[in-house]
């Protein structure tokens, strides 16, 4: 886990859920509103906060005695961000970027990965059938939390056409808890009208793909949808150019990089816990704020 005081270069920070309280069973990537406030305080003390594109364009120039620069991003366009994070950002008049998964926004349903996390944590079946394998859930709550990562990785690395039947099968086994998952406060996506309401000066919109699955195993047609079509949807809905693509889970390979570049994005975001100078070209690394110490 990176310590904020030890970060020695310009950095891009990202957040997912920001809620009044944490549900330790499912909120592995969330922070409380109070933690978010303290993190903003600490970041402002050490960094000048600028638009994402300012940092991306200025890499490689060195600090040369100036204060470090930071950019803020919010992944998944969640309603809890609109309620608990964005007002704090707006009060400080800071620029920020929202990374939008278009399927969830359009359907008004939580991301499949959040629903799956909830089901693995709380579901009643002793055996969860993933299609290619079965997972024994007749274990302690702590063991279930340990299983979340491998299950998400396994399902997330399926291609889109492979993933949906597996998800349908999983959710059919978890129908008793699915209503609660669908209503979980940390999972709700904004809709397009809500996104319009939180937009304004200093807010940029990035694509976070359509389906929010790993792009490592997608075919050419699927990659085109996740990159090119998501860009068109965002631009049609917002009326502003979308020049930034955020890889789901930070995963990319040569094919997904080529697809994002061919779609016309100028900057490509990943998440690997390093300062921006660690990468060159159009790839911009970020630090997930839920891993910050101090």
For residue range 39-51, list pLDDT tens digits in order: 999 999 999 999 9
Q: Tell me: do 102 and 226 sit in the same domain.
A: yes
Q: Tell me: do 221 and 124 sit in the same domain.
A: no
Rg value, the chain, Cα: 19
Looking at every residue in the chain, the average pLDDT score rounds to: 88
User: Which residues lie across from 127 on neighbouring strands?
Assistant: 136
**Domain endpoint, select from 182, 210, 230:** 182
Q: Tell me: do 282 and 146 sit in the same domain.
A: no
Could you tell me which residue, 144 or 60, shows the higher pLDDT?
Answer: 144
Exposed e or buried b per residue across 41-77, where buried means at least 16 C-beta atoms within 10 angstroms of its C-beta = eebeeebebbbbbebbeebeeeeeeeebbbbbbbbbb
Q: Tell me: do 98 and 228 sit in the same domain.
A: yes
Q: Is 93 helix (H, G, I), strand (E, B) or coil?
A: coil
What are 264-281's pLDDT values in tens digits?
999 999 998 888 888 888
Is the predicted pLDDT of residue 114 greater than 90, yes or no? no
Instruction: Please answer whether residues 169 and 133 qualify as being in contact, where contact means their C-beta atoms are separated by less than 8 angstroms.
Output: no
- For the chain, the domain total comes to 2
199: domain CATH number is 3.20.20.370
Q: What integer is the mean pLDDT of 182-206?
A: 91
The Cα–Cα gap between 114 and 44 comes to: 30
**Whole-number pLDDT of residue 24:** 66
- Confidence band (pLDDT; 50, 70, 90) for 175? confident
Q: Tell me: do 200 and 92 sit in the same domain.
A: yes
For the chain, give the percent of residues with pLDDT over 70. 93
Longest dimension (CA), the chain: 59
- Confidence band (pLDDT; 50, 70, 90) for 61? low
Could you tell me which residue, 218 or 228, shows the higher pLDDT?
Answer: 228
**Whole-number pLDDT of residue 123:** 65
Q: Tell me: do 43 and 72 sit in the same domain.
A: yes
Q: Tell me: do 28 and 83 sit in the same domain.
A: yes
Residue 64 token pair: 């040369």
Exposed e or buried b per residue across 151-161, where buried means at least 16 C-beta atoms within 10 angstroms of its C-beta = bbeebbebebe
- Confidence band (pLDDT; 50, 70, 90) for 242? very high
Q: Tell me: do 101 and 122 sit in the same domain.
A: no
Q: Tell me: do 93 and 196 sit in the same domain.
A: yes
Q: Tell me: do 84 and 217 sit in the same domain.
A: yes
Q: Tell me: do 73 and 28 sit in the same domain.
A: yes
Say which residues have a Cβ less than 8 Å from residue 45's Cβ, sequence separation at least 6: none
**Domain endpoint, select from 182, 199, 232:** 182
Q: What integer is the mean pLDDT of 151-155?
A: 83
- Domain housing 166: 112-182
- Count Cβ atoms below 10 Å from residue 224 Cβ, excluding itself: 14
Q: Tell me: do 62 and 194 sit in the same domain.
A: yes
CA 85 to chain centre: 14
**Domain endpoint, select from 151, 182, 213:** 182
């Amino acid at each position: 886990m990176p310590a904020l005081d030890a970060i020695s270069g310009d950095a891009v920070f990202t957040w997912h859920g920001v809620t009044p309280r944490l549900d330790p069973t499912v909120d592995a990537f969330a922070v409380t509103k109070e933690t978010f406030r303290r993190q903003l305080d600490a970041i402002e003390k050490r960094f000048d906060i600028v638009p994402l594109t300012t940092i991306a364009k200025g890499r490689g120039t060195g600090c040369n005695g100036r204060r470090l620069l930071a950019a803020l991003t919010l992944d998944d366009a969640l309603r809890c961000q609109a309620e608990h994070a964005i007002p704090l950002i707006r009060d400080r008049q800071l620029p920020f970027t929202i990374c939008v998964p278009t399927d969830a926004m359009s359907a008004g349903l939580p991301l499949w990965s959040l629903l799956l996390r909830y089901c693995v944590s709380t579901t009643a079946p002793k055996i969860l059938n993933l299609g290619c394998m079965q997972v024994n859930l007749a274990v302690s709550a702590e063991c279930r939390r340990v299983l979340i990562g491998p299950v998400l990785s396994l399902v997330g690395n399926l291609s889109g056409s492979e993933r949906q039947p597996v998800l349908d099968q999983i959710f059919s086994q978890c129908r008793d808890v699915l209503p609660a998952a669908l209503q979980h406060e940390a999972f709700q996506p904004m809709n397009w009208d809500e996104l319009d309401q939180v937009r304004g000066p200093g807010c940029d919109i990035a694509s976070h793909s359509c389906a929010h699955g790993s792009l490592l195993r997608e075919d050419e047609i699927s990659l085109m949808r996740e990159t090119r079509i998501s860009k068109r949807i965002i631009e049609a809905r917002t009326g502003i150019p979308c020049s930034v693509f955020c890889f789901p889970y930070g995963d990319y390979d040569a094919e997904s990089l080529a697809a994002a570049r061919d779609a016309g994005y100028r900057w490509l975001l990943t998440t690997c816990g390093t300062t921006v100078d660690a990468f060159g070209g159009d790839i911009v690394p970020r630090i997930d704020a839920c891993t910050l110490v101090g």
